[in-house]
Structure 1
Amino acid sequence: MKKQKIDKSDFAIRLETSRSAVDRILDPDCPSTLMTFAKAANAVGKHLKISLA
């Protein structure tokens, strides 16, 4: 978000959610689903890639 200069309000619009939901997504103490992380990555033009070793 910082590199692309996207604030939380713009991020919420891209995710089609509320600003408070964005705060929860960005809070490391608040659990989120992998689907939520995938949508968040997609909103900033990235892809979520998970690897298990």
Structure 2
Amino acid sequence: MAKNKHRGSSFDSFLDEEGMLDEVEAIAIKRVLASEVAAYLLANDVRKAAFAKRIHTSRSQLDRLLDAENPSVTLQTMVKAARGIGKKLEVSLG
């Protein structure tokens, strides 16, 4: 029986070995932000067009942010969206 080379390793190390860690982390971060923004819009009865205008971005850019499967969103839009819901987006190098 072949020994599993991933046994005992972390999921992060597996993703890193497969060359997928950066992409998976970026998508996870974006999904958290998208979820927070969507919850804010719903809880405060704010329309997407009004929110996009308030944070000085386009409705299409906001739609890209809110689409959990779409990784195409700029860091600038993410910062604006976080500020728009009263939060601060923090990026750190660990």
TM-score above 0.5: yes
| Shift of residue 48, structure 1, vs aligned partner | 3.0
Aligned-partner residue type, residue 64 of structure 2: R
Q: Over the residues paired in the alignment, what is the CA RMSD in angstroms?
A: 2.0
How far apart, in 1, do the equivalents of 2:90 and 2:55 lie? 19
Greater RCO (Cα-Cα under 8 Å, separation 6 or more): 1
Q: Which structure 1 segments of 5+ residues have no match?
A: none
Range with greater deviation from structure 2 (20-29 or 35-44): 35-44
Number of residue pairs the alignment of both structures matches: 53
Secondary structure of the residue aligned to 1:29 is: coil
Give 5+ residue unaligned stretches, structure 2.
1-40
| Corresponding residue number in structure 2 for 1:26 | 66
1:14 equivalent in structure 2: 54
Pair 1:43 & 2:84 matched:
yes
State the percentage of identical aligned residues.
Answer: 45
User: Which structure has the highest helix share of the two?
Assistant: 2
**TM-score normalised to structure 1 length:** 0.69
2:49 and 2:87 map into 1 onto residues whose CA distance is: 19
